[in-house]
Amino acid sequence: MVDHVIARYGEIILKGKNRTEFERLLIHNMQRALVDWPEVDIRKAGSRFSIYLNGAPVDAVIERLQRVFGLVSLSPVQAADLDLESIRDRVLQLLQSYKEQNGTAGSFKLEVKRANKRFPLTSPEVAQRLGALVLPRAREWKVDVHNPDLTVYVEIRDTEALVFGQKIPAVGGLPVGMSGRVGLLLSGGIDSPVAGWMAMKRGVRLEAIHFHSFPFTSERALQKVEDLAQILADWGGEVKLHVVHFTEVQTAIRKACKEELGITIMRRMMLRIADEIARRRRLLALCTGESLGQVASQTLESLRTINAVTNLPILRPLIAEDKVDIIRRARQIGTYETSILPYEDCCTIFVPRNPRTKPRLEEAEQAEQNLDIAGLVQRCVDELQTKSFTARRGH
């Protein structure tokens, strides 16, 4: 019977205070991910964690932990007494369940690690004797130390031996909260949710910012963005969503600025507003789904002209990604199906006939002269609507 799960984390360079903080956040985030099973007990065991199930379903717990940023691998573990017969029985159980799952036996090797130096046998001795005890009772199995179908890990510890056959990969990265809070410009498209996910994977806590132009864009378009924020929260534990009412800004741009620069100026306004939200919310950076060359507004010239309105660092995790890879990632994290729903975005409603692909900074500044920038930013930020999303049970 599996009685606990080993959860490993990477980032071996972690030291001192950083390490303490990393572990504290990881425990907190794991507890959150496992709220459905209050009986589960998380304990630190050296430089990894032992997750005691106390009756909770092992597959569901592992599935949930695979999504916790910061964990790199998981192993369902059986504990044995510190004698070779009882270790042998656990090894036989593992071989048996492999056979049941795969329909056939195969080859295996034993990999023994001895943390308990008082145990009277060395690791190679344990492996040898254990092999001799196992093989007569597992006649369909062969030993293959180079390319086995199954590696059986045996760890000799102080009070027990641990036996496990799998290292199941987890998502990796850093625990959410480790890297501070960042404002994610979240549209209803495919890219920005993926960009936010990647930032979260590096420990960022997200505050999403969405520009909504009711009635030009519908309630359903907004619902779609809320759904995306919810999916991101299912991964990262908690995501705030700030909705900016952007209609006045878009109308003003249309009235006061050259049509061909409309998109550039709209983007500059978005960034100015995001910058002010970041100031008030004390966010350390912004994050977008921009990818070089993907659309007209994502040439380097355009990025430079847009970027010029803020001094904040802008994270662009997708800048060098191809669309097919972004789509693959979107499917994997579960945002794709929502992103492709057909509701209009505020960027698509006033698209000029001939948008400039290489808007110069001076031209943009010139075109904005008749725009009441400060007033528009102020009103948008004052009327912000904020919602919080937390991970749903069962996700």
Cβ 316 to ligand ATP shortest distance, Å: 9
Residue whose C-beta lies closest to Mg ion: 189
Enumerate residues 10-39 that contact ligand ATP by CB under 6 A: none
Closer of 125 and 383 to ligand ATP (Cβ)? 383
Partner in contact with 196, chosen from ligand ATP, Mg ion, none, beta carbon below 5 to 8 Å by kind: none
- Give the whole-angstrom CA distance, residue 14 versus residue 325: 30
Q: How many residues bind Mg ion (CB under 5 A)?
A: 2
- Give the whole-angstrom CA distance, residue 87 versus residue 45: 20
**How many alpha carbons fall within 13 Å on the CB side of residue 362?**
0
- Give the whole-angstrom CA distance, residue 255 versus residue 313: 31
Q: Is the dihedral of CA 175, 176, 180, 183 positive or negative?
A: positive
Would you give the end-to-end CA distance of the chain in angstroms? 25
Under the criterion CB under 6 A, does residue 211 sit at the interface with ligand ATP?
yes
Q: By CB under 6 A, name the one of 95, 231, 346, 364 that touches ligand ATP.
A: 346
CA angle, 251 then 257 then 261, to 5°: 105
77 and 5 in contact (C-beta within 8 Å)?
A: yes
Closer of 79 and 229 to ligand ATP (Cβ)? 229
Closer of 40 and 204 to ligand ATP (Cβ)? 204
- Give the whole-angstrom CA distance, residue 369 versus residue 67: 48
Residue whose C-beta lies closest to ligand ATP: 189
Enumerate residues 271-290 that contact ligand ATP by CB under 6 A: 288-290
| Residue owning tokens 């092992």 | 58
Closer of 75 and 288 to ligand ATP (Cβ)? 288
Closer of 189 and 236 to Mg ion (Cβ)? 189
Question: Where are any strands of DSSP class E within 119-222?
Answer: 142-143, 150-156, 161-164, 168-169, 181-185, 205-212
- Give the whole-angstrom CA distance, residue 358 versus residue 261: 10
Closer of 71 and 209 to ligand ATP (Cβ)? 209
351 and 259 in contact (C-beta within 8 Å)?
A: no
Closer of 185 and 269 to ligand ATP (Cβ)? 185
- Give the whole-angstrom CA distance, residue 265 versus residue 359: 10
- Measured in degrees and rounded to the nearest 5, phi and psi for residue 327 equal -65, -40
Contact pattern for Mg ion over residues 181 through 220, marking x by CB under 5 A = ------x-x-------------------------------
Instruction: Pull the structure tokens for residue 217.
Output: 């864009």
- Give the whole-angstrom CA distance, residue 76 versus residue 336: 31
Cβ 385 to ligand ATP shortest distance, Å: 13
Partner in contact with 192, chosen from ligand ATP, Mg ion, none, beta carbon below 5 to 8 Å by kind: ligand ATP
Instruction: Pull the structure tokens for residue 331.
Output: 């499917």
Partner in contact with 3, chosen from ligand ATP, Mg ion, none, beta carbon below 5 to 8 Å by kind: none
Enumerate residues 148-207 that contact ligand ATP by CB under 6 A: 185-187, 189-192
Cβ 216 to Mg ion shortest distance, Å: 15
Instruction: Pull the structure tokens for residue 302.
Output: 């355009």
Partner in contact with 121, chosen from ligand ATP, Mg ion, none, beta carbon below 5 to 8 Å by kind: none
Cβ 65 to ligand ATP shortest distance, Å: 29
Q: What is the three-class DSSP state of 299?
A: coil
Under the criterion CB under 6 A, does residue 235 sit at the interface with ligand ATP?
no
Q: By CB under 6 A, name the one of 11, 89, 345, 365 that touches ligand ATP.
A: 345
Which residues share a beta bridge with 239? 389
Under the criterion CB under 6 A, does residue 75 sit at the interface with ligand ATP?
no
Q: Residues interacting with ligand ATP, by CB under 6 A?
A: 185-187, 189-192, 209-211, 288-290, 294-295, 297-298, 345-347
Q: Residues interacting with Mg ion, by CB under 5 A?
A: 187, 189
